[in-house]
Amino acid sequence: MTQMQTVEQTLTINHFINGAETSGSGTRTQDVFNPATGAITGELRLANREDLENAVAAAKAASRVWNDISLAKRTAVLFAFRELVAAHTEELAVLVTAEHGKVLADAKGEINRGLEVVEFACGIPQQLKGDYSDQVSTGIDVFSFRQPLGVVAGITPFNFPVMVPLWMAPMAIATGNAFILKPSERDPSASLLLARLWKEAGLPDGVFQVLHGDKETVDGLLTHPDIDGISFVGSTPVARYVHETATAHGKRVQALGGAKNHAIVLPDADLDNAADHLSAAAFGSAGERCMAISVAVAVGAAADLLVDKVTERATAIKVANGMEPDAEMGPIITQASRERIVQIVTEAEKAGAALVVDGRALMVEGHEEGFWVGPTVLDHVKAEMSAYTEEIFGPVLAVVRVDTLEDGIRLINANPYGNGTAIFTSSGAAARLFQRSVTVGMIGINVPLPVPVAYHSFGGWKASFFGDKHIYGPEGVSFYTRGKVVTSRWPEPKQPSGASYNFPSNS
């Protein structure tokens, strides 16, 4: 046991079922770490079948009540929740940094982006207005409106323990559903604070619940007959599995997967600006963002200069415990993840890539047990190397050199992932060709992390997304609701017209 482990407290992390924290009846637990110190800080309770049944039963009952509550009252809860999350930003961010490792300012950034979705959800009456067609036939009107699915579950990844749950829950709840969150078991504490804030905002018990667990709990949710929809964000193999399993059990599913995001840098780009953005997008949050740029595609003469400029920035990054005010990059989520990253970098070097900046041996003084990898730059990476084919999910930027913009676009389109991509150029024509040709869902033009604002929707293509409807924004509204169309005649005809056995035609 390290010195840090003796001074840090180990907390029990409970579920939040039917309006209250509970340890549940499951006996399995999992350790939660502070990745900056390597210390165990929490003991997470993992749900068993009984806990799952309790949560689903409470959600089912609550969904009926919540769907009957007026839009005015529903939005009042959302507005109150918005204020509470804003007021507790610091507290949420500290929980995120303590279990995820990202620096405190970055943790606050994810909370702010999550808040944007809550704000969009506050305007839900506008989104649910429906359509009305007057007098489609004599005395007959047709109108359509949307209703909630019922009970939906959200299964979320470790890398955004507040933002990703807020991509889902406010939208699901605003549209009248009950929502069960199954957070990542690596950084679960922030989800409990969110649950307390929902309750304080006036949300009825059972409408937002937190059920901790691993594959066993996820499988229970994917197959439960009383769950109507599944929102998933995580790695591609699990996203594919979640989509296949839950759709086979009759559920509506949106499953967002992993990524390998490329940024093309053309020789006409402002290379200092491109290097600033690339460095921030590759090494921010230790590269553990689904929109991180992990491949720089340097076109022609841009390559040598770009590598020099990125190297300058990568070597200047302050890697430290995310709680330190001047920290720019924190640790990796787990020791196993750290070892995997180091192995991929080592393999790339052996396969002929140039290791321009080597972060494998980085150690942070006073944090010798932490899970550290420093910013790493690999040049001359080839498409067959594991550093290119694998989603590394660490602070590693692979530079691939190509001759033309068209070669770069071909490379991106041949990649199985299609989450995000960017281009750095001063040519509008090149940017336009790029935006029209790439088979990727979210595109940045001189913007490295093109995360859509809350009133658009977020989602990738190809192996980065399984389902039809992207997350939050207008597609989120559509995902969490079903359409109904009513054909109505008022008043009823005074004289019975007799039964007609022909298909009804409008007149």
Which residues form the catalytic set? 290
Shortest distance, CB of residue 113 to ligand NAD, whole angstroms? 12
C-beta closer to ligand NAD: residue 234 or 467:
234
Question: By Cβ distance, which residue is nearest to ligand NAD?
Answer: 234
Q: Supply 443's token pair.
A: 């595109």
| DSSP at 471 | B
Shortest distance, CB of residue 395 to ligand NAD, whole angstroms? 14
Distances (CA, A) of 455 to 82, 443, 463: 16, 16, 24
Which residues pair with residue 143 across a beta bridge? 132, 486
Shortest distance, CB of residue 285 to ligand NAD, whole angstroms? 11
C-beta closer to ligand NAD: residue 253 or 405:
253
Which residues pair with residue 471 across a beta bridge? 458
Shortest distance, CB of residue 201 to ligand NAD, whole angstroms? 24
C-beta closer to ligand NAD: residue 185 or 475:
185
| DSSP at 162 | T
Work out the burial of residue 122: count CB atoms within 10 Å of its CB; fewer than 13 is exposed, 13-18 middle, 19 or more buried.
buried
Distance (Å, whole) CA 113 – CA 121 = 13
Give Cβ neighbours of residue 35 (< 8 Å, ≥ 6 apart). 99, 100, 101, 330, 331, 332, 333, 334, 370, 371
Distance (Å, whole) CA 253 – CA 240 = 11
C-beta closer to ligand NAD: residue 150 or 460:
460
Distance (Å, whole) CA 175 – CA 127 = 9
Q: Which residues are near ligand NAD by CB under 6 A?
A: 155-160, 164, 182, 184-185, 214-215, 218, 233-235, 238, 241, 256-259, 290, 391, 393, 419, 460, 464
Shortest distance, CB of residue 286 to ligand NAD, whole angstroms? 12
Shortest distance, CB of residue 393 to ligand NAD, whole angstroms? 6
Q: Supply 366's token pair.
A: 């006073």
Are residues 345 and 360 in contact, defined by beta-carbon separation less than 8 angstroms? yes
C-beta closer to ligand NAD: residue 233 or 412:
233
How far is CA 153 from its chain centroid?
Answer: 14
Q: DSSP states of 91-141 as a string?
A: HHHHHHHHHH---HHHHHHHHHHHHHHHHHHHTHHHHT--EEEEEEETTEE
- End-to-end, the C-alpha distance of the chain in Å comes to 82
Shortest distance, CB of residue 484 to ligand NAD, whole angstroms? 30
Question: Do strands 131-137 and 140-148 pair parallel, antiparallel, or not at all (unpaired)?
Answer: antiparallel
Q: Tell me, what amino acid is at 115?
A: L
